[in-house]
Amino acid sequence: MAEVLEGSELKVIAFDVFGTVVDWHSGIAAEAERLLPGIDGGAFALAWRAGYQPAMKGVMERLAAGEGGFTLLDELHMGILGDVLRDFGVADLDADTKRELNRAWHRLPAWPDAVEGLARLKRRYTICTLSNGNIGLLTEMAKRAGLPWDCVLSAEVFKAYKPDPRTYLGVAAVFDVTPGQVMLAAAHHDDLAAARACGLRTGYIERPLEFGPGRPKDVSPQPDNTLHARDIGALADLLGC
Amino acid sequence: MAEVLEGSELKVIAFDVFGTVVDWHSGIAAEAERLLPGIDGGAFALAWRAGYQPAMKGVMERLAAGEGGFTLLDELHMGILGDVLRDFGVADLDADTKRELNRAWHRLPAWPDAVEGLARLKRRYTICTLSNGNIGLLTEMAKRAGLPWDCVLSAEVFKAYKPDPRTYLGVAAVFDVTPGQVMLAAAHHDDLAAARACGLRTGYIERPLEFGPGRPKDVSPQPDNTLHARDIGALADLLGC
């Protein structure tokens, strides 16, 4: 793969987290079933995650219009959770259980290849998160799952959310390297496209079961990505780590 | 030591870095002697560090007056370095060597007890940096020295420098805990006093040789600190880790 990285020595790999490094569908489904007996955990997880894009769009619009400050993902998740609980007929959940359920996003399990794959990449590259998740969430998740980040970067550091260019270019600035010396690794083509537009290299990570076994995802390669890898171990293989 | 932590379960230990976790005097002295043959490395290190407080004071005053943006510690160090090189009669140093010398702050050695002490504390607490050093500097330092931070926090995250309350309170906010659930560990009483004024617990770490063997430091206990430890291993002992 030396040819695709030609002209710019790769220094930093920034990882999208939800879906790419951790399995939010299984994690949320299991915690929902534990805390809300009788619920369909998989459906609950999909409903909660489906609320993310519209809620984030609203936050970004208000931020751009100067009408609101920065919102932590924990707060965003809590707002969506209220609606999802209502839709699932459990609107009367007590505050402590609701808070514990919201914290399920801090306790998501890593995909089975993630910890070892990251450890291999870490030997040669600086590896960090680049997620719209807040720092506290990402740190607790890493501590529990054993994700060996060199550094936890987040929308919270840049006060801008992906796909804002300030996040991708912010990674390069933090490490004092060129955008071409940074790769974004993600399971989502829109995230990768936004990073590519900023000059970053891109590594697509297949996660066919991101939305659960009932909703397999198209993981076909897209030619604009620098690398295409089955999982994080395969990314380490491609990079010769 | 349970009694001193009564009433608030400690969750997070934030560490000052320069002098507390890493030995800037030896590290800078050695790199100065390597890159500037014939120089007195120890004196060079002291002169460079002595420029820090006045330079940081200027940056904080300009920031408070709205006259300047946030300055990375790498830039601050580079500015001071120009003056120190002139004072040591090497003002004509080429740009590449000057940059490499400035990066010596990224390559500082950990105090011998730091890596193991932090690893012990990490098993029970979230451990992070809280330094005026920039994120890239702290990350490269940790990677080289093997410092096992859960998270790299910095003035760069809070867009405010210690001893601004936003930094100490920012740590509590990031982890969604009360100030009393955070301890600042530092080798400097002024840093600890500012943290204490924000409601944080404080752990003093003795570093009698911070300024080199020729300038031993008074490391007497001050009664206002929650804990007083010879080094980071001793802090882990006191906390029962």
Asked if B157's CB is within 8 angstroms of A151's CB, the reply is no
Note whether B132 contacts A: Cβ–Cβ < 8 A.
no
- The answer to whether the beta carbons of residues B211 and B40 sit under 8 Å apart is no
- Residue A199 CA to chain centroid, in angstroms? 20
pLDDT value, residue A221:
95
Q: Which phi and psi angles does B208 have, rounded to 5°?
A: -60, -25
Kindly tell me if the per-residue pLDDT of A1 is higher than 90. no
Kindly tell me if the per-residue pLDDT of B15 is higher than 70. yes
CA–CA separation, A35 and A205 (whole Å):
31
Q: Which phi and psi angles does A156 have, rounded to 5°?
A: -65, -30
Instruction: Compute the half-sphere exposure of residue B167: CA atoms within 13 Å on the CB side of its CA.
Output: 26
Confidence label for A68 from pLDDT (cuts 50, 70 and 90):
confident
User: Taking all residues of chain B, what is their mean pLDDT, rounded to a whole number?
Assistant: 95
pLDDT digits (tens, 9 = 90+) for A178-191: 999 999 999 999 99
pLDDT digits (tens, 9 = 90+) for B114-155: 999 999 999 999 999 999 999 999 999 999 999 999 999 999
Amino acid identity at B120: R
Amino acid identity at A234: A
* Other CB atoms within 10 A of residue B219 CB: 16
Kindly tell me if the per-residue pLDDT of A75 is higher than 70. yes
Kindly tell me if the per-residue pLDDT of B7 is higher than 70. no
Asked if A157's CB is within 8 angstroms of B157's CB, the reply is yes
pLDDT digits (tens, 9 = 90+) for A17-63: 999 999 999 999 999 999 999 999 999 999 999 999 999 999 999 99
Kindly tell me if the per-residue pLDDT of B3 is higher than 60. no
- Picking from A107, A114, A109, the residue whose alpha carbon sits closest to that of residue A77 is A107
Q: Which phi and psi angles does B148 have, rounded to 5°?
A: -90, 50
Asked if B157's CB is within 8 angstroms of A150's CB, the reply is no
* Other CB atoms within 10 A of residue A112 CB: 12
Note whether A126 contacts B: Cβ–Cβ < 8 A.
yes
Note whether B100 contacts A: Cβ–Cβ < 8 A.
no
Q: Which residues of B touch A152 (CB under 8 A)?
A: 151-152
Note whether A153 contacts B: Cβ–Cβ < 8 A.
yes
Mean pLDDT of A7-16: 90
User: Taking all residues of chain A, what is their mean pLDDT, rounded to a whole number?
Assistant: 95
pLDDT digits (tens, 9 = 90+) for A39-48: 999 999 999 9
pLDDT digits (tens, 9 = 90+) for A202-238: 999 999 999 999 999 999 999 999 999 999 999 999 9
pLDDT value, residue A5:
61
Asked if A175's CB is within 8 angstroms of B139's CB, the reply is yes
CA–CA separation, A213 and A166 (whole Å):
35
- The answer to whether the beta carbons of residues A19 and A189 sit under 8 Å apart is no
Confidence label for A69 from pLDDT (cuts 50, 70 and 90):
confident
Note whether B134 contacts A: Cβ–Cβ < 8 A.
yes
Amino acid identity at A15: F
Asked if A152's CB is within 8 angstroms of B139's CB, the reply is no
- Picking from B132, B173, B162, B222, the residue whose alpha carbon sits closest to that of residue B11 is B173
Q: Which residues of B touch A70 (CB under 8 A)?
A: none
Q: What percent of chain B has pLDDT over 90?
A: 93
Q: What percent of chain A has pLDDT over 70?
A: 97
Mean pLDDT of B22-32: 98
pLDDT digits (tens, 9 = 90+) for A93-106: 999 999 999 999 99
Nearest to B175 among A136, A153, A174 (CB): A136
Q: What are the start-end ranges of the H helices in B41-198?
A: 41-50, 52-64, 73-87, 95-102, 114-124, 135-145, 155-158, 165-174, 189-197
Show the domains of chain B with their CATH numbers.
2-23+109-238 (3.40.50.1000), 24-106 (1.10.150.240)
- The answer to whether the beta carbons of residues A60 and A163 sit under 8 Å apart is no
Kindly tell me if the per-residue pLDDT of B25 is higher than 80. yes
Note whether B74 contacts A: Cβ–Cβ < 8 A.
yes
State the nearest Cα–Cα gap between B26 and chain A, in angstroms.
25
pLDDT value, residue A4:
55
Radius of gyration over every alpha carbon of chain B, rounded to an integer in angstroms: 18
pLDDT value, residue B2:
47
CA–CA separation, B80 and B77 (whole Å):
5
* Closest chain B residue by Cα to residue A156: B157
State the nearest Cα–Cα gap between B109 and chain A, in angstroms.
17
CA–CA separation, A233 and B194 (whole Å):
45
DSSP code of B224?
A: T
pLDDT value, residue B69:
83
Note whether A139 contacts B: Cβ–Cβ < 8 A.
yes
* Other CB atoms within 10 A of residue B116 CB: 15
Nearest to A135 among B136, B143, B174 (CB): B174
Q: Which residues of B touch A137 (CB under 8 A)?
A: none
Asked if B143's CB is within 8 angstroms of A174's CB, the reply is no
Helix H, strand E, coil C: the string for chain A is CHHHHCCCCCCEEEECCECCCECHHHHHHHHHHHHCCCCCHHHHHHHHHHCHHHHHHHHHHHHHCCCCCCCCHHHHHHHHHHHHHHHCCCCCCCHHHHHHHHHHHHHCCECCCHHHHHHHHHHHCEEEEEECCCHHHHHHHHHHHCCCCCEEEEHHHHCCCCCCHHHHHHHHHHCCCCHHHEEEEECCHHHHHHHHHCCCEEEEECCCCCCCCCCCCCCCCCCCCCEEECCHHHHHHHCCC
